[in-house]
Amino acid sequence: MRSRPGKASLWTATLAALATVTATVPAAAAAPDAPGAPGIASAWTTGAKNGVGTSTTVDSKVWHTLGQGNLNEVYYPQLDVPNVQDMQFVVSDGQGFTELERDATNHETRMADPRALEYQQVNTDKDGRYRITKTYVTDPQRSVITMRVRFEALSGGPLQLYALYNPSLAGSGMGDSGATDSGALVASDGDVASALVSSTGFDAATSGYSGTASDGYQDLADDHRLTATYDRASQPGNLVQTARIPVGTDTTFTLALGFGDDRGAARRAANASLETGFDALESDYVGGWHDYLASLNPVPESVTSRGLETQYNVAAMTLKAQEDKTHRGAFIASSSIPWGQAKNADECCTAGYHLVWARDLHHTATASLALGDEAAANRALDYLLKVQQNEDGSFPQNTWLDGEPHWTSLQMDEVALPIVLAWQLGRTDAATWTKLKKSADFIVANGPATPQERWEEEGGYSPSTIAAEIAGLVTAADIARTNGDTAAAEKYLSTADEWQRKVEEWTFTTTGPHGDGRYYERIDDDGNPNNGHELCINNGGGCHDERAIVDAGFLDLVRLGVKPADDPEILASLPEVDDRLRVETPNGPGWYRYNHDGYGETADGGPYGGQGVGRLWPLLTGERGEYELAAGRDAGKHLETMARMANEGHLIPEQVWDRSSAHGFTFGEGTGSATPLAWSMSQFIRLAHNIDAGRNLETPSVVADRYAR
């Protein structure tokens, strides 16, 4: 447990906060308006987050992410609108050195409370001169992030501490303006505003434009002093705000970063949170998460027997934290922007993972069911049917939270999986059936081929997509019967039966170049898996004979009840998948999505920019565990591997590094793509419950009874 200041010191700090928060920043040397607009080009930050946080309340519409020892993107007023590039500290001795906290310190991330999304970052200077400890909570009643900061001058000082805040409001880094106002650094872009205040007040403050002479950090780097300060930066641009915080050799204070629809509202919210005090906010914040965990099913024995309770609890809380608080049921794929440091943020609405995919939402919903949060799963289905579904029954590839499509292709598994989810939830009422029937009819009319499969790149006949389509049609038939629609039920079952018989004919090659030549392909363009047509991988992976590209998507045929685990074609395909895709990491076995995948860092570790090297996906370790369980074997090692692939904040990545540690990456640990990935966290939760049950709970019994038993 971390140590806490005594009650007397907390009371003194609170009184000091109230006395100083409204104090005006000394401005004798401040010039009125900063030059240099608009500043240099803006970007986001790495997709590798070590922590995420938000309150369990819907009143506080703010989410924070943590990475590289600092505060990263902040989402407000909903989960598809990032507003901050980062906020960190600058440390200087005023004469010999000035350095950025991100670059000059060794970073450690801790769980301040293992049963809450409360993270603590400990950043220690590489030269041993200081240590900065930051603990984060959001105000459950307001859209404010608060952090308790302890600054220790380990070498005795004196040292100077500056807050360096880089807003990127309303989803863009190039439209912000800002000023110093009533002791706060305020900024705005349209109807989104922020305000940064400190319990100590600021000794000096300035607003300027990144990379120019008015940038506070550039000023400090020049001569180790903040000599050019500006009251405001009134022209839109890449705003950066800097403030000196009075510190001694060991100083604890609170920062509050508030948001609102104008600067005044943001400032009032931040000040109100400071007035409430960090301890009171922390108690309410942590209590909300404790209550949420207490409302769930008991932690599975597969978790407790392996000492994985914290990993399990963080996975459960992270899934809840990926749900928007305005568009209920809209769970995003990840509160991250893959390789965001290489993504230009000058224009609004960069395509990160803060979008809703029906497929990812299905996985989140099934994990929520396993957790015992049936209400969340029902909200997800309501969102799918009321917001995302098109009039013809199809679903967009993905959408913004309001349902506006972003990427515009069609993935047939995303049409089918909402039907399966409705069946799992027992949603058989007439209104729901009217919606589901549209989707089932769309599958019959447009399947089994798909414009894109689950990896969002190729069209054709995909084993994983066909598995979802068959499961969707069989569950739709069951719901149709409940509603007296026997004609529809018969149509769906006859179609599903035909596709179940023909899936090998369409996707199982007998003339492949790997192993004995008999295995499921990743995808086939025309339903003839032996003609050797060319497959060009749409992420820079090159063009290849389609028979040469394998993935483990055929395991969905087992997971969804379309084939038994000992089906001959399933068994025949496992050696080729393991020979081509399996890598034994220090944390356990991992699998590539498919061979020649180009979606990942470049060969020299650089961020993906259209062509790279696909790395290992932890969720595939979980999927293999579900198959092993279906085959009657132990899946415990797969659960343990997923947990070991999580980072120190217990967040499971989209991808982990696939070879000897290099370029700043560690073999078997996360890359810069997307952490946390809701799909990965969902897979961990689901596998844990499946191990306890001795079977895959998400397998629709009505499908398995027809085909696999």
Query: Could you please report the per-residue DSSP string of 393-425?
Result: S---S-B-TTS-BSS---BHHHHHHHHHHHHHH
Q: What is the pLDDT of residue 16?
A: 38
Q: Other C-beta atoms within 10 Å of 504: how many?
A: 19
Reduce the DSSP state of residue 359 to 3 states and report it. helix
Contact 99, 123 (CB under 8 A): no
**Confidence bin at 27 (pLDDT 50/70/90):** very low
- What are residue 589's DSSP bridge partners? 584
State the average pLDDT over residues 411-424: 99
pLDDT of residue 19 exceeding 50, the answer is no
What are the distances in angstroms from CA 465 to CA 214, 373, 456? Answer: 54, 27, 11
d(CA 223, CA 363): 53
Go through 57-85 and write b for each residue having 16 or more CB atoms within 10 A of its CB, e for each that does not. beebbbbbbbbbbbbbbbbbbbbbbbbbb
State the average pLDDT over residues 252-275: 99
**Confidence bin at 351 (pLDDT 50/70/90):** confident
Amino acid at 71: L
pLDDT of residue 13 exceeding 50, the answer is no
Reduce the DSSP state of residue 232 to 3 states and report it. strand
677 in any annotated domain = yes
d(CA 709, CA 705): 5
Task: Please check whether residues 383 and 398 belong to one and the same domain.
Answer: yes
Q: Which of 387, 412, 251, 271 is nearest to 329 (CA)?
A: 387
In the 8-state DSSP scheme, what is residue 326?
A: S
d(CA 612, CA 212): 33
Q: Which of 210, 287, 268, 211 is nearest to 241 (CA)?
A: 210
Task: Please check whether residues 221 and 306 belong to one and the same domain.
Answer: no
Q: What is the pLDDT of residue 629?
A: 98
- What are residue 90's DSSP bridge partners? 100, 162
Using one digit for the tens of pLDDT, what is the confidence trace for 666-701? 999 999 999 999 999 999 999 999 999 999 999 999
Q: What is the pLDDT of residue 31?
A: 72
Q: What is the pLDDT of residue 29?
A: 53
Q: How many domains does the chain have?
A: 2
Q: Given phi > 0 = left and psi -120 to 50 = alpha, else beta, which region is 406?
A: alpha
User: Which range of residues forms the domain containing residue 193?
Assistant: 7-292
- What are residue 385's DSSP bridge partners? none
Task: Please check whether residues 186 and 284 belong to one and the same domain.
Answer: yes
Reduce the DSSP state of residue 227 to 3 states and report it. coil
Q: What is the pLDDT of residue 14?
A: 35
What are the distances in angstroms from CA 564 to CA 149, 475, 500, 699? Answer: 56, 18, 12, 11
Task: Please check whether residues 360 and 454 belong to one and the same domain.
Answer: yes
Reduce the DSSP state of residue 17 to 3 states and report it. helix
Report the share of the chain in percent with pLDDT over 90. 94
Contact 450, 459 (CB under 8 A): yes
Task: Please check whether residues 274 and 313 belong to one and the same domain.
Answer: no
465 in any annotated domain = yes
Q: Which CATH number characterizes residue 305's domain?
A: 1.50.10.10
pLDDT of residue 590 exceeding 90, the answer is yes
pLDDT of residue 24 exceeding 60, the answer is no
State the average pLDDT over residues 193-212: 98
Go through 122-155 and write b for each residue having 16 or more CB atoms within 10 A of its CB, e for each that does not. bbbbeeebbbbbbbbbbbbbbbbbbbbbbbbbee
Q: What is the pLDDT of residue 7?
A: 28
- What are residue 520's DSSP bridge partners? 508
pLDDT of residue 157 exceeding 90, the answer is no
Q: Where are the alpha helices (DSSP H) in 193-329?
A: 216-223, 263-276, 278-294, 301-304, 309-321
Which residue spans within 80-191 are E strands per DSSP? Answer: 84-92, 98-100, 105-113, 118-125, 130-138, 144-153, 160-167, 176-181, 184-189
d(CA 86, CA 468): 40
Task: Please check whether residues 307 and 230 belong to one and the same domain.
Answer: no
pLDDT of residue 75 exceeding 70, the answer is yes
Task: Please check whether residues 261 and 328 belong to one and the same domain.
Answer: no
Chain position carrying tokens 């931040």: 270
- What are residue 357's DSSP bridge partners? none
225 in any annotated domain = yes
346 in any annotated domain = no
Task: Please check whether residues 321 and 196 belong to one and the same domain.
Answer: no
Question: What is the model's pTM?
Answer: 0.95
Q: What is the pLDDT of residue 3?
A: 30
In the 8-state DSSP scheme, what is residue 80?
A: T
Task: Please check whether residues 178 and 211 belong to one and the same domain.
Answer: yes
Using one digit for the tens of pLDDT, what is the confidence trace for 283-320? 999 999 999 999 999 999 999 999 999 999 999 999 99
Using one digit for the tens of pLDDT, what is the confidence trace for 593-623? 999 999 999 999 999 999 999 999 999 999 9
Angle, CA of 302, 307 and 310, to the nearest 5°: 100
Contact 48, 72 (CB under 8 A): no
683: its two tokens: 């897979």
What are the catalytic residues?
453, 456
- How many separate helices (H) and strands (E) can be counted in the chain? 19, 24
Task: Please check whether residues 161 and 309 belong to one and the same domain.
Answer: no
Q: Other C-beta atoms within 10 Å of 364: how many?
A: 27
pLDDT of residue 398 exceeding 80, the answer is yes
pLDDT of residue 661 exceeding 60, the answer is yes
2 in any annotated domain = no
Q: Which CATH number characterizes residue 46's domain?
A: 2.70.98.10
410 in any annotated domain = yes
1 in any annotated domain = no
**First and final C-alpha spacing in the chain:** 51
Task: Please check whether residues 305 and 200 belong to one and the same domain.
Answer: no
State the average pLDDT over residues 402-418: 98
What are the distances in angstroms from CA 307 to CA 94, 116, 313, 575, 587? Answer: 48, 17, 12, 32, 16
Q: Give the rounded distance of the alpha carbon of 584 from its chain centre.
A: 25
Q: What is the pLDDT of residue 472?
A: 99
253 in any annotated domain = yes
Give the strand pairing for 30-33 and 229-237. Answer: parallel
Q: What is the pLDDT of residue 511?
A: 99
Q: What is the pLDDT of residue 350?
A: 79
Q: What is the pLDDT of residue 30?
A: 62
Q: Which of 426, 451, 433 is nearest to 700 (CA)?
A: 426
User: Taking all residues of the chain, what is their mean pLDDT, rounded to a whole number?
Assistant: 95
Task: Please check whether residues 659 and 591 belong to one and the same domain.
Answer: yes
